[in-house]
């Protein structure tokens, strides 16, 4: 369900809008890398597909029916960046043309439904695809799990945003239980449909499925009656230097934005305890609560010790928090990148792109399966 | 592709609101909604004033009230949710018609209902008075990244085509005796979805080739430059500025 206007308060909507703008900007760059100059027509058509497939009703039982949300499906079929773009465009158009979802809540909607869903789905899908043996069946299984987790993850993200900036006073526990409970059920349906759809596409055009690119076997040439390996395509190396500098700019912009948000916007944040603390207080079950181990750390309760002005100290704590997060995140990222650089030298041409299926040994075996639907 | 790409909410007309440049309308609606959302919920009269403002815009745009109210029905699932709030919210309780309701919940429901309805009403008015192509042009004028506008325009342009293809698949399935009754039929439906994806993607590839053969190099030529005069901006921004005055009054009075 799309979040309407007035459900999340103004400062949090603005913050979510900033997150959404950042995510779309990153995705625009990423999608150019995924699709090069074909981005506009292909992403547009995929967005139209998502828009249409959301109208395809899947009957459950006794007259009820559900429909696909499409975030996980898009991430697996066309890659995470393009998926974020497509779902964002669908949400934007739904907001502007069909008044579905509030205009001020657009940031929240894009953050939750476009970013969280696709990123979670793609991360899980990639992780599972690495662990499971390479094959069509494990791609389907990974798609199932990814879609299954992505929907409750989006519900959890919404609950988090609600906890920070919800305008109504429903207890966080109730919201979380209702949202996540309902969305686990929706997630099961989403998972089944996503896995079936990915399976159907892989059966016919495995080269189109972004998440199954590792499956395409290397091309073979038949020379004089015997198969030999085709020469590898030259890798595009010179692009990395240019992208490194632009990445740095992007990082700097993101860092400055989060510092500004943490430092200044938190001045205007509510001084009331958050929903969970409030519920705990109302119900009186925080009496026996033991103070957290870090309660006397310099940043306890989001304020810097020895600074009496609450707003100033809250802002400082926000800035320090962002700094620590960035350092920790960069350390992890750096470590992962180093590892990948060391063992990434022996990977061959992973993807060969569209138009080369004719000679690949993994030619579609199940083409007739999709025929009935194509006879329209 | 041959038909006009008018969407269902658009209503052809020649009112002063229709004639405004699209980017001024987009800005006006967005500012209006922001103002509405930041109004304190205790100032009930302010929301009545907003509703009056929107009604006067609808009158100026020659949008019949019935048409407008019918389009508001999109809100219904969400109204049901808002009506649930007084029963589940925390805090002190009050007796209304023999039911114990939460005061906070009542305020919350009122807040969400009033702001949500005004937001939907404003968006419906925008959609009713702005053509699809104009809307995209307006987004472009508002400095949305050109790539994003292109993606949106392709989505709009081919949305009907893809939806129609899906409808033809449905007819084909049904004419072969297929009937979607429950979970057991999901396999067939998912295969249709997969086929639809392949068709959409391949159509995208063909469209790209057709564009390249006509000289496309990453950006669309701008044929009609939509510019707004100062008078048009003033006319469009009357709505959010009046709303801002109401909002400030609401903050000072409450």
B194-228 pLDDT per residue, tens: 999 999 999 988 998 998 898 887 777 776 666 77
Residue B160 shares a structural domain with residue B205: yes
Residue B244 shares a structural domain with residue B165: no
B221, part of any domain: no
Residue B154 shares a structural domain with residue B35: no
| Beta carbons within 8 Å of A70's beta carbon, 6+ residues apart | A50, A53, A54, A87, A90
pLDDT on residue B60 = 87
At residue A329 the predicted structure's pLDDT band, cuts being 50, 70 and 90, is: low
pLDDT on residue A324 = 64
Residue B206 shares a structural domain with residue B115: no
Residue B153 shares a structural domain with residue B178: yes
Does the pLDDT value for residue A250 go beyond 80?
no
What is the value of pTM for the model shown? 0.71
- The Cα-based distances of A330 to A18, B2, B219 in angstroms read 21, 52, 35
CA distance A234 to chain B (A): 24
B6, part of any domain: no
pLDDT on residue A328 = 66
pLDDT on residue A263 = 55
List chain A domain ranges: 1-219+356-376, 245-270+292-345
Q: For the ranges A3-12, A51-60, A72-81, A220-229, which has the lowest average pLDDT?
A: A220-229
Answer whether B190 sits within 8 Å of A193, measured CB to CB. yes
pLDDT digits over A265-297, tens only?
Answer: 554 444 444 444 444 454 444 444 444 544 455
pLDDT on residue A289 = 44
Residue B75 shares a structural domain with residue B153: no
In this complex, which of A46, A56, A199 lies closest to B201 when CB atoms are compared? A46
pLDDT on residue A144 = 92
- How far is A162 from A172, CA to CA, in rounded Å? 8
Mean per-residue pLDDT, B120-147: 85
The reply to whether A100 touches chain B by the CB within 8 Å rule is yes
DSSP assigned state of B109: H
Which residues does chain A have within 8 Å of residue B132's beta carbon, measured at their own beta carbons? 97
B222, part of any domain: no
Q: Which of A166-170, A298-302, A370-374, B11-15 has the highest mean pLDDT?
A: B11-15
Residue B111 shares a structural domain with residue B34: yes
Calculate what percentage of chain B has a pLDDT beyond 90. Answer: 10
Rg of chain A's alpha carbons, rounded to an integer? 24
Residue B26 shares a structural domain with residue B107: yes
Q: In terms of pLDDT, which residue wins out, A246 or A18?
A: A18
B20, part of any domain: yes
In this complex, which of A4, A47, A196 lies closest to B190 when CB atoms are compared? A196
| Beta carbons within 8 Å of A269's beta carbon, 6+ residues apart | A11, A314
B93, part of any domain: yes
Mean per-residue pLDDT, A220-235: 71
Calculate what percentage of chain A has a pLDDT beyond 90. Answer: 10
Q: Report strand pairing: A226-229 vs B93-96.
A: unpaired
Q: In terms of pLDDT, which residue wins out, A327 or B7?
A: A327
Q: Is A101 helix (H, G, I), strand (E, B) or coil?
A: coil
Does residue A101 contact residue A6 with C-beta atoms inside 8 Å? no
Q: In terms of pLDDT, which residue wins out, A275 or B183?
A: B183
Question: Helix crossing, A80-97 with B103-129: angle to 10°?
Answer: 90
pLDDT on residue B169 = 92
Question: Helix crossing, B44-60 with B22-37: angle to 10°?
Answer: 160
pLDDT on residue B176 = 93
Annotate A249-268 with b (16+ C-beta within 10 A) or e (fewer).
Answer: eeeeeeeebbbebbbebbee
Query: With respect to CATH, is domain A1-219+356-376 assigned 1.10.1760.20?
Result: yes
Question: How many Cβ atoms sit within 10 Å of the Cβ of residue A352?
Answer: 18
Does the pLDDT value for residue B175 go beyond 90?
yes
Residue B46 shares a structural domain with residue B22: yes
Does the pLDDT value for residue A105 go beyond 90?
no
Q: In terms of pLDDT, which residue wins out, A241 or A256?
A: A256
Residue B111 shares a structural domain with residue B189: no
- Best of A8, A20, A40 to substitute, by most chain B Cβ atoms within 10 angstroms, is A40
The reply to whether A169 touches chain B by the CB within 8 Å rule is yes
Calculate what percentage of chain B has a pLDDT beyond 70. Answer: 89
Does the pLDDT value for residue B67 go beyond 60?
yes
- How far is B146 from B150, CA to CA, in rounded Å? 6
Question: How many Cβ atoms sit within 10 Å of the Cβ of residue B30?
Answer: 18
Does the pLDDT value for residue B15 go beyond 70?
yes
The reply to whether A320 touches chain B by the CB within 8 Å rule is no
Residue B30 shares a structural domain with residue B64: yes
Answer whether B115 sits within 8 Å of A52, measured CB to CB. no
- How far is B190 from A158, CA to CA, in rounded Å? 28
The reply to whether A52 touches chain B by the CB within 8 Å rule is yes
pLDDT on residue A376 = 39
Q: For the ranges A51-65, A302-316, B58-72, which has the lowest average pLDDT?
A: A302-316
Q: In terms of pLDDT, which residue wins out, A98 or A218?
A: A98
Q: How many domains does chain B have?
A: 2
Count chain A–chain B contacts defined by CB atoms under 8 A: 283
Which of A37, A77, A32 shows the shortest CA–CA distance to A53? A77
In this complex, which of A89, A167, A375 lies closest to B108 when CB atoms are compared? A167
At residue A34 the predicted structure's pLDDT band, cuts being 50, 70 and 90, is: confident
Does the pLDDT value for residue A240 go beyond 50?
no
Q: Any long-range contacts for A124-133 (C-beta under 8 Å, 24+ apart)?
A: A124/A149, A124/A150, A125/A72, A125/A75, A125/A76, A125/A211, A126/A211, A129/A211, A129/A214
Does the pLDDT value for residue B168 go beyond 90?
yes
**Owning domain of residue B191:** 146-213
B79, part of any domain: yes
Does the pLDDT value for residue A58 go beyond 50?
yes
Mean per-residue pLDDT, B66-71: 80
pLDDT digits over A334-363, tens only?
Answer: 666 655 555 544 444 444 333 333 334 444
Does residue A57 contact residue A193 with C-beta atoms inside 8 Å? no
- How far is A370 from B169, CA to CA, in rounded Å? 12
- How far is B154 from A51, CA to CA, in rounded Å? 12
In this complex, which of B71, B115, B124 lies closest to A6 when CB atoms are compared? B115
Question: How many Cβ atoms sit within 10 Å of the Cβ of residue A23?
Answer: 22
DSSP H or E segment with residue A165: helix A136-165
Mean pLDDT for chain A? 71
Residue B24 shares a structural domain with residue B125: yes
The reply to whether A336 touches chain B by the CB within 8 Å rule is no
At residue A321 the predicted structure's pLDDT band, cuts being 50, 70 and 90, is: low
């Amino acid at each position: 369900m799309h979040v309407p206007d007035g459900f999340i308060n103004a400062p949090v909507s603005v913050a979510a809008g900033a997150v959404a703008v950042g995510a779309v900007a990153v995705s625009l760059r990423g999608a150019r890398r995924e699709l090069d100059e074909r981005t506009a027509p292909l992403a547009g058509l995929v967005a139209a597909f998502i828009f249409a497939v959301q109208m395809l009703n899947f009957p459950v039982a006794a007259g009820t029916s559900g429909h696909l949300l499409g975030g996980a499906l898009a991430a697996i079929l066309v890659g995470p960046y393009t998926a974020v773009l497509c779902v964002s465009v669908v949400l934007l158009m739904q907001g502007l043309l069909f008044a579905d979802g509030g205009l001020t809540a657009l940031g929240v909607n894009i953050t939750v439904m476009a970013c969280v869903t696709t990123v979670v789905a793609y991360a899980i899908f990639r992780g599972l695809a690495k662990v499971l043996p390479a094959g069509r069946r494990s791609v389907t299984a990974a798609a199932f799990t990814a879609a299954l987790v992505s929907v409750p993850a989006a519900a959890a993200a919404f609950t988090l945003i609600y906890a920070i900036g919800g305008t109504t006073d429903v207890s966080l526990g109730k919201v979380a239980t209702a949202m996540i409970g309902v969305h686990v059920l929706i997630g099961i349906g989403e998972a089944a449909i996503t896995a079936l759809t990915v399976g159907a596409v892989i059966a016919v055009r495995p080269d189109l499925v972004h998440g199954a690119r590792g499956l395409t076997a290397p091309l073979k040439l038949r020379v004089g009656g015997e198969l030999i390996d085709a020469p590898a395509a030259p890798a595009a190396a010179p692009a990395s230097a240019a992208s490194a500098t632009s990445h740095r700019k992007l990082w700097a912009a993101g860092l400055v934005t989060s510092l500004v948000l943490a430092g200044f916007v938190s001045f205007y944040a509510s001084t009331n305890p958050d929903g969970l603390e409030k519920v705990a207080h109302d119900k009186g079950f925080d009496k026996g609560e033991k103070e957290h181990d870090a309660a006397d750390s310099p940043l306890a309760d989001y304020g810097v010790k020895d600074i009496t002005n609450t707003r100033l100290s809250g802002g400082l704590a926000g800035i320090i928090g962002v700094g620590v997060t960035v350092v920790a995140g960069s350390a992890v990222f750096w470590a992962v990148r180093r590892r990948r650089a060391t063992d990434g030298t022996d990977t061959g041409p992973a993807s060969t792109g569209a138009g080369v299926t004719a000679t690949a040994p993994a030619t579609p075996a199940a083409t007739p399966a999709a025929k009935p639907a194509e006879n329209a | 592709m041959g038909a006009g790409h008018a969407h269902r909410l658009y209503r052809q007309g020649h009112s002063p609101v229709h004639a405004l440049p699209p980017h001024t309308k987009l800005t006006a609606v967005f500012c209006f909604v922001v103002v509405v959302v930041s109004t304190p919920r205790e100032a009930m009269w302010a929301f009545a004033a907003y509703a009056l403002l929107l009604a006067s815009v609808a009158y100026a745009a020659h949008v019949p009230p019935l048409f407008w109210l019918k389009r508001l029905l999109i809100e219904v699932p969400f109204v049901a949710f808002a009506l649930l709030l007084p029963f589940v919210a925390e805090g002190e309780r009050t007796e209304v018609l023999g039911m114990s309701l939460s005061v906070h919940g009542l305020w919350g429901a009122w807040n969400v209902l009033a702001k949500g309805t005004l937001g939907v009403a404003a968006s419906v008015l925008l959609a009713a008075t702005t053509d699809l192509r104009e809307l995209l042009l307006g987004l472009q004028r508002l400095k949305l990244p050109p790539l994003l506008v292109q993606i949106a325009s392709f989505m709009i342009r081919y949305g009907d085509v893809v939806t129609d293809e899906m409808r033809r698949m449905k007819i084909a399935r049904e004419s072969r005796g297929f009937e979607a009754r429950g979970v057991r039929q999901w396999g067939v439906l998912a295969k249709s979805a997969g086929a639809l994806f392949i068709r959409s993607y391949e159509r995208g590839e063909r469209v790209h080739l057709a564009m390249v053969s006509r000289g496309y190099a990453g950006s669309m030529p701008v044929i009609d430059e939509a510019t707004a005069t100062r008078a048009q901006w003033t006319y469009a921004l009357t709505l959010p500025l009046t709303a801002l005055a109401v909002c400030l009054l609401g903050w000072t009075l409450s």
